[in-house]
Structure 1
Amino acid sequence: MNDRERILTALSHVRPDKVPYDIRFTVPAREKMARYYGDPDFESKLSNCFTWLRPHLPDGRFMEVAPNIWQDEFGVRWDRHIDKDIGVVCNRLVTGDNVSDFEFPDPNDPRRYEGFDQGVAADRNTAVLVSLGFSLFERAWTLAGMENILMAMATGERWIDVLLDRILEFNLAVIENACTEKVDIFRFGDDWGHQRGVLMGPDLWRKYVKPRFAAMCRAVKGRGKFTMLHCCGKIDELFADLIECELDIFNPFQPEVMDVFDIKRTYGSMLSFYGGISIQRTLPFGTARQVRDEVRRLIDVVGEHGGYIASPSHDIPGDAKAENVAAMIEVLQNQ
């Protein structure tokens, strides 16, 4: 089997010949591992299972507008003095007064999708994944501010519906343009959780987020693609809802906030899982032997009946030990 065949087999809840895997890094971790291997191009040799495509304008995803200040295509500015990968939002663009008039970028601009055919053609041995980050709640709070969004939800202010509907309209247009014939999976990135639960609580999530997320999933499924959600935090109380929304794959499957083995037993016939390797405990603080044992157990138990893509439970952070990351890679590559 090639990696695309392994992904499609796993998503059919059948165990492939090897559990597919995907390993991603933060900037500090990537630099650390390049030094460890003595190879700045080490990532290209990992045999990851996905080809990632992103529907951003060529110069619009992030551009540096001042030292360590980066701006995305919506005009949101991110302070990267400390966090070099994403940053901290440092402006506010949308209020209840301008929510209807604020100018969104054009989701139908063909330049967003110019590299898609080339990206697909580059390697048909991997599954093709289109990734739309900041896809709903995250886009709302980056535009209007986290506190303002949560307060608007809690008090039932009308403008939050207007903003979320405008974001949904943008996303549906991106889905329509991006779900070309050779795309396998459409991924939404939208963090709703923290270490102990759902940020806005399950009731407000069901009122504001669920119906719009379901519409996005239906649009993807209507084009014959798999749906994936990246959502950090403890949101396992929402899994039944996500299944109703027609979600296929959940990531990052964090072992620090949920029992990944129990979750797989409970939902494994209805959901596939992507992640599971601890970036908060084992990779930074464990031994290489503990890492190998953890990865092997995930492969053997969570991957037993398919429905599993092995991966760290987020991009590997800079405090992960190089020897531990190397041990994880060794196990994944030598199944």
Structure 2
Amino acid sequence: LVEAVLERYSDWAVQVGRQASEMGFDFLWTADDLAFKTGPLLSPKMFRNIIVPHIRKVADAISIPWVFHSDGDLTALLPDLMDLGISAFNPIEPGAMDIVETKQKWGHQICLIGNVDVHLLATGSPDEIAKEVRRLLQEVGPGGGYILSSGNSLASYCKPENVRAMIDTLQEYGAYPPQTD
């Protein structure tokens, strides 16, 4: 049953990828949560043996840049995901993955998107948001390959003034090379 579901899903995803390319999309953004905050849903070996062949079928069909979204700590799965030719990875969830370490190890190969903590956007102040945005730009921005965004979907409980502070701070300091002083 698992194999049949994965086969059907990957066949559908191949068609979506091909249609996005044919329609002139600039990139394809897919969402397949593969991890908890504490680690992968499956062992790396199971992931490699059961899931990767189906994702590879999709990867082989995509001819435009591919943004791969998964919450949680994917550290143990990143080598397999990188082998698939993913162009960008989102959201590098705070508290699950260290974006600085991820950038050091994989930043030469992939664009990182995300990492402004949604909990901070919900409970912090605009000044705290601005400080965090500047920190991320300073620590992750150099060398390029980083797009700042929230570390997960923006939920209704995020304070609008904090989302505005994230955007305003990014507009002020986010040009390459980042200037955060």
Using the size of structure 2 for normalisation, the TM-score is 0.88
Query: After superposition, what is the alpha-carbon deviation per residue over 1:218-269, rounded to whole angstroms, capped at 9, x for unaligned?
Result: 211xx2x111111111111111111111111001111221111111111100
| Map of 1:172 onto structure 2 | 14
Match of 2:71 among 208, 226, 232: 232
Give the Cα–Cα distance (whole angstroms) in 2 for the partners of residues 196 and 216 of structure 1: 27
Structure 2: which amino acid aligns with 1:170? Answer: W
Give the Cα–Cα distance (whole angstroms) in 1 for the partners of residues 17 and 99 of structure 2: 30
Query: After superposition, what is the alpha-carbon deviation per residue over 1:192-241, rounded to whole angstroms, capped at 9, x for unaligned?
Result: 11110111232221122111112211211xx2x11111111111111111
Give the Cα–Cα distance (whole angstroms) in 2 for the partners of residues 174 and 319 of structure 1: 32
Residue 321 (str. 1) matches residue 159 (str. 2): yes
| Map of 1:198 onto structure 2 | 40
Give the Cα–Cα distance (whole angstroms) in 1 for the partners of residues 124 and 68 of structure 2: 28
Give the Cα–Cα distance (whole angstroms) in 2 for the partners of residues 174 and 291 of structure 1: 36
Structure 1: which amino acid aligns with 2:136? Answer: L
Give the Cα–Cα distance (whole angstroms) in 1 for the partners of residues 60 and 138 of structure 2: 32
Moved over 3 A (4+): none
Query: After superposition, what is the alpha-carbon deviation per residue over 1:10-63, rounded to whole angstroms, capped at 9, x for unaligned?
Result: xxxxxxxxxxxxxxxxxxxxxxxxxxxxxxxxxxxxxxxxxxxxxxxxxxxxxx
Match of 1:290 among 120, 128, 138: 128
| Map of 2:80 onto structure 1 | 241
Give the Cα–Cα distance (whole angstroms) in 2 for the partners of residues 298 and 317 of structure 1: 21
Give the Cα–Cα distance (whole angstroms) in 2 for the partners of residues 256 and 234 of structure 1: 9
| Map of 1:273 onto structure 2 | 112
Contact 2:92 2:98 (8 Å CA) reproduced:
no
| Map of 2:31 onto structure 1 | 189
Give the Cα–Cα distance (whole angstroms) in 2 for the partners of residues 316 and 167 of structure 1: 27
Structure 1: which amino acid aligns with 2:30? Answer: F
Structure 1 residue 181: deviation in Å? Answer: 6.2
Which deviates more, 196-205 or 247-256? 196-205
Gaps of 5+ in 2: 174-181
Structure 2: which amino acid aligns with 1:289? Answer: D
Residue 207 (str. 1) matches residue 49 (str. 2): yes
Residue 257 (str. 1) matches residue 96 (str. 2): yes
Give the Cα–Cα distance (whole angstroms) in 2 for the partners of residues 321 and 162 of structure 1: 43
Instruction: Find the residue that maps to 1:253 and give its secondary structure.
Output: coil
Structure 2: which amino acid aligns with 1:199? Answer: L
Shift of the 177–326 alpha-carbon distance from structure 1 to 2, 3 Å rule, reads closer
Residue 330 (str. 1) matches residue 168 (str. 2): yes
Contact 1:214 1:246 (8 Å CA) reproduced:
no
Structure 2: which amino acid aligns with 1:306? Answer: G
| Map of 2:142 onto structure 1 | 304
TM alignment of 1:1-335, pairs within 5 A: 159-180=1-22, 182-220=24-62, 223=63, 225-280=64-119, 282-335=120-173
Give the Cα–Cα distance (whole angstroms) in 1 for the partners of residues 22 and 142 of structure 2: 32
Give the Cα–Cα distance (whole angstroms) in 2 for the partners of residues 253 and 334 of structure 1: 23
Give the Cα–Cα distance (whole angstroms) in 1 for the partners of residues 81 and 89 of structure 2: 9
Structure 1 residue 272: deviation in Å? Answer: 0.9
Give the Cα–Cα distance (whole angstroms) in 2 for the partners of residues 203 and 242 of structure 1: 13
Query: After superposition, what is the alpha-carbon deviation per residue over 1:75-98, rounded to whole angstroms, capped at 9, x for unaligned?
Result: xxxxxxxxxxxxxxxxxxxxxxxx
Give the Cα–Cα distance (whole angstroms) in 1 for the partners of residues 158 and 76 of structure 2: 29
Shift of the 175–323 alpha-carbon distance from structure 1 to 2, 3 Å rule, reads closer
**What RMSD over aligned residues (CA atoms) do the two structures have, in Å?**
1.5
Gaps of 5+ in 1: 1-158
